[in-house]
Amino acid sequence: MLDAAYQVLLKDGLQATTVDAIAAQAGVSKATIYKWWPNRAAVIMSAFLREAGKALPYPDEVRLDSVFARLLQMAEEFHGPIGTMISALIAEGQADPEIAQAFRDGYISARRRQGVEIVKAAIAKGLIRDADPEVVLDVLYAPLYYRLLVGHQPLSAEFVRQHVDLVMNGLSTTPGAKPARARKKA
């Protein structure tokens, strides 16, 4: 059923991803879907989360190289189906409270809990200065979402490099220290 939901999402878009369409694609009844998920939003989020979890893993530590690699991978994924789905889910969430809540609960909040723990560990190890982990996550990730959703500038590898250098310099535990510039992929 999740494969079917994901295929309908990719092929027809979020608006067309109804329980009827998912059931038809999966070859099951609507009742079977409602046995496992309470509503359309829950099925869509389950399908999206399965794919996004594979495509967008968190780094193990908050270090220049790991943050750069993670954000670069995220920027690359944002150019494909994952980015299209995130944009659609955020847009649809403006008019559909169930989609908005499912996206916040299933994707944003779950990932932020994991991110907060990684940031707290980095602070405890002295890898970055003491700061509110929620703010650190916003500073790291918000510019990528902004470029994805607004599209005013490209979400390029060079942008990611400059962004990570700037943020990690600000988070550095050594005032005035310049982190080594993230290297270009060969």
* Tens-digit pLDDT profile for residues 50-83: 888 777 766 666 666 778 888 888 899 999 888 9
Rounded Cα distance between 62 and 99, Å, is 31
pLDDT band at 142 (very low <50, low <70, confident <90, very high): very high
Rounded Cα distance between 106 and 101, Å, is 8
Query: Which residue matches tokens 């944009």?
Result: 87
CA dihedral 103, 107, 109, 115 (to 10 degrees): -160
What residues does each domain of the chain span? 2-171
* Tens-digit pLDDT profile for residues 10-30: 899 888 999 999 999 999 999
pLDDT band at 186 (very low <50, low <70, confident <90, very high): very low
> How far apart are the two ends of the chain, measured CA to CA in Å?
39
* Tens-digit pLDDT profile for residues 116-138: 998 999 899 888 899 999 999 99
Q: Which fold has domain 2-171?
A: Tetracycline Repressor; domain 2 (1.10.357)
Tokens of 160: 């990611």
Q: How many CB atoms lie within 10 A of CB 130?
A: 11
Residue-level pLDDT at 37: 92
Residue-level pLDDT at 150: 94
